[in-house]
Structure 1
Amino acid sequence: MAFSGYAVLWADRRVRALFVAAFFARIPALAAPLVFTLYVVEDLDGTYAQAGIIAAATTVGAAIGSPWRGRLIDRLGMRRAILPSIVAVAILYPVATLSTYVWLIPLSLLMGRFLIPVFSIVRLSLSVMVEESRRRTAFSADSIIAEASFIIGPAAGVLLVTQAGADVALYAIGGCEVLAGLIFWRLNPPTRSPGGSTPPAEPGHVVTRTPFMSVPVVFLFLISGGTMAALIGTDLGIIAELRELDEVGAIGFTYALWGLSSLVGGLIYGSLSRSIRPTYLLLALGLTTIPVGLGGEVWSLSLWVIPTGFLCAPTMTAAAEWIAKLVPEERRGEAMGWQGTAFTIGAATSSPVVGVAIDGVGAWGAFVVGGAIATGIALICWGGQLIPAYRPEHYASVNEISPVE
């Protein structure tokens, strides 16, 4: 392991500015779902089921919009691609505070579609700015920063709602997202290497697009969705388990250990000299998620989430690392967008299944179902990769990543 790679990254002014911008840009995005839930329940006198519909509408919009925005970045460059998102966010959030619940549903769909693509921008820019030998460290560092934003975002949203009201919180989130978009527009991080093979398209100019979809890339999208199934199972399972134990006040403590272990896992993975194949990481993540329900006390539950948390950031980092390796640079933004869609679909499809398990057998069912889905997907992808033509190395270009076999 070599932790000095993080110092080298931080010494690069462009990379440092990108990390700082990403940290602040993710905070309002992570606060928004909780604030919208409280807005529907408290200000609009709705139910949690109605709040769930709003969340689902945003999810569908994000799933549709991620590949589209990534394609725009590939074709037009970052500045021209992000401008519609900045304008849309500036309009939609203020309008949302004035709308009825019925109108909030299509507004949420549009918010998801025009969500500023922080994930795609950061990962795409890092794949260009950082040489391939340091890409694993760079993606791990971004995962660590995302974990830090996750710790702050929801807490900041709750504070805003309790101190100023949900409508003011929505104005603040919209304003912060616009500011984040403007910061990225000002930074204009590169999304194409100097002298890249396909420059951004000029008006009226037709560009022949290189295909990027292959079986190994589809496997990586499946792995990304499976990762979210394990995370959703752990997320909902923690809440349900602590409610059963009548220890809801300990949610923050257990979540903190879960997030901290993920942060440490990402830090260590980024310092490794060799890549671990995402299939193996997802298999380990699924297998460590299944037994978390054995924790019958706050302290034991908190200890059981440490191993699964430790594997979260490395699994997501490894998937992004291999996508950047297997996809041509001129299509990488769209591919990162499809990975974002895979994350979204994985979360959206696993949530109701995990919920049914909790209702049917109790909190432990969430961990079993989420872990089993992740394990099943890992085994399917592993079986597919046994076919020589579908091994990721078969598609990798020069300077191949050295996987752990």
Structure 2
Amino acid sequence: MGRVGFSGYAQLWADRKVRALFVAAFFARIPALAAPLVLTLYVVDELGGDYKQAGVIAAATTIGAGIGSPWRGRLIDRLGIRRAIVPSIVMIGLLYPLATIATYAWLVPISVLMGLFLIPIFSIVRLSLSVMVEERQRRTAFSADSIVAEASFIIGPAVGALLVTQVSAAAALYAIGACEVVAGVIFLVLDPPTRSVTAAPATEETAPAPASTSFVSAPLVFLFLLSGGAMAALFGTDLGVVAELRELDEVGSVAIAYGAWGLSSLVGGLVYGSLTRSVRPTFLLLALGVATIPVGLAGGVVSLSLLVIPAGLLCAPTMTAAAEWIAKLVPEERRGEAMGWQGTAYTIGGAASSPVIGAGIDGVGAWGGFVIGGSIATAIAVVVLIAQMVPRWRPTPEMATIEGVSR
């Protein structure tokens, strides 16, 4: 995999524009990462629902995001970030307050709209980084973004749980909506580049029609499948941790379990970004799926926090590797749309797996979430690995690895 070094992170941090993007992404992701936990607790605690119903809400949100991601990515490609996210800022400011007064039946379509107009932070940051740094630095840049995301993840759910337990889930939803609006305004002001200097985004009036040729290829489809599998593993852990803590009557300890999970992912991303060669996303997802299954053996807060660490170490590398290879495979003028389709793959993976995971938790207990989520991820990785053995779909020599910055 090449030698390990960390100087690339210092080089990135020295760039003022890249540094500003990371800081904005950190604050913008906190409310977005708190939302799934808060919605789950809102359905289970305040609406009197079960985990299957909470899984349906998660699925509704992800379906909306799955529809919206490619559309918003294409708008970013054509119009730039500012004009693409204004509708999100307006709608998010309306939808979260509505959620606090809605019945469960109305919460389902509201959740779809929340996903549809979700501010595409992931796509914006990865797309901007892909043109702000050289190709040889992308692994380090994407890993740094994963580290920033994990730092947000450590804070977001913990703050969300604190608001729910100390105030109410409704108050937490109001706070999330307000913070997401502020996040949108931050990106509106920052307006990070999405095209290189030689290919700046054109205005709507002067933009040429998108090329009719498709950027889709078998390797790209495999990457989308792997992205969906990664989300199944993450949803299994996410819902499983909440369910396990509720069974233990230790919901207030969510910061400990989520902190261990997020911190280990942060460390994994830091190490992966320091490598000089890539690891195939197929292998990373296989390891992630296998590592997720045993978390169901946890019997207390301490054991739960320890068992999520191996899976956590693989979260950021798996998602970073997939984004890195997509940026390599897709031309710059279609990269925003491709990143949007990756977002759709994430959301489809979550939408398809979350009700099954929720039903498993309701049926057998919290351990079912980890087993089901990990098994889905493992199965997808095995299928893709077998498919990649077919000669016509086998990675070409130049795509077998992606070289990184020299240390």
Q: TM-score range by the shorter chain?
A: 0.7 to 0.9
User: In the alignment, does 2:342 pair up with 1:339?
Assistant: yes
Confirm whether residue 77 of structure 1 aligns to residue 80 of structure 2.
yes
Match of 1:184 among 166, 184, 187: 187
Distance (Å, rounded) in 2 between the aligned partners of 1:391 and 1:165: 52
CA change 1:305–1:56 in 2 (3 A) is closer
The number of residue pairs the alignment matches comes to: 400
Query: CA distance change for structure 1 residues 183 and 268 in 2, over 3 Å: closer, same or farther?
Result: same
Give the drift of 1:260: 1.5
**Against the structure 1 CA distance between its residues 358 and 96, is the aligned structure 2 distance closer, same or farther, given a 3 Å change threshold?**
closer
The answer for unaligned runs of 5 or more in structure 1 is none
Residues 5-404 of structure 1: matches in 2 within 5 Å?
Answer: 5-39=8-42, 45-48=47-50, 51-97=54-100, 99=102, 101-161=104-164, 165-196=168-199, 199=202, 201-202=204-205, 206-241=209-244, 251-296=254-299, 298-393=301-396, 401-402=402-403
SS at match of 2:197: coil
CA contact (8 A) 1:210 1:328 kept: no
User: RMSD over aligned Cα, in angstroms?
Assistant: 2.9
Q: Which range is displaced more, 344-353 or 249-258?
A: 249-258
For residues 255 and 302 of structure 1, the distance between their equivalents in structure 2, rounded to whole angstroms, comes to 8
Q: CA 1:102–1:313 in 2, change beyond 3 Å: closer, same or farther?
A: same
Secondary structure (helix, strand or coil) at the match of 2:192 reads: coil
Shift of 1:82: 1.3
Give the fraction of aligned pairs with identical amino acids, expressed as a percent.
71
Return the offset for 1:33: 3.1
Shifted more, 356-365 versus 82-91: the winner is 356-365
Structure 1: distance between partners of 2:213 and 2:314:
33
Instruction: Name the aligned partner's letter for residue 112 of structure 2.
Output: L
TM-superposed CA distance for 1:257, in Å, is: 1.9
- The structure-2 alpha-carbon separation of the partners of 1:165 and 1:282, relative to structure 1 and needing over 3 Å to count, comes to closer
Spell out, residue by residue over 1:109-168, the C-alpha distance to the aligned partner (whole angstroms, 9 max, x if none).
222111111000000000010111111011111111111111211222234445555444
Distance change >3 Å, CA 25–CA 246, structure 1 → 2:
closer
279-288 vs 302-311, greater mean Cα deviation: 302-311
How far, CA to CA, are the matches of 2:144 and 2:89 in structure 1? Answer: 26
Query: Which deviates more, 126-135 or 178-187?
Result: 178-187
Q: Spell out structure 1 runs of 4+ moving beyond 6 A.
A: none
Task: Summarize the Cα distance change of 1:25–1:12 in structure 2 as closer, same or farther, 3 Å threshold.
Answer: same
**1:186–1:378 CA distance, 2 compared to 1 (3 A):** same
Letter in 1 for 2:229: G
Tell me: higher relative CO, structure 1 or 2? Use CA pairs within 8 A at least 6 residues apart.
2
**What per-residue deviation string (whole Å, max 9, x for no partner) do you get for residues 71-119 of structure 1?**
1111111111112212222333344445555444333222211111100
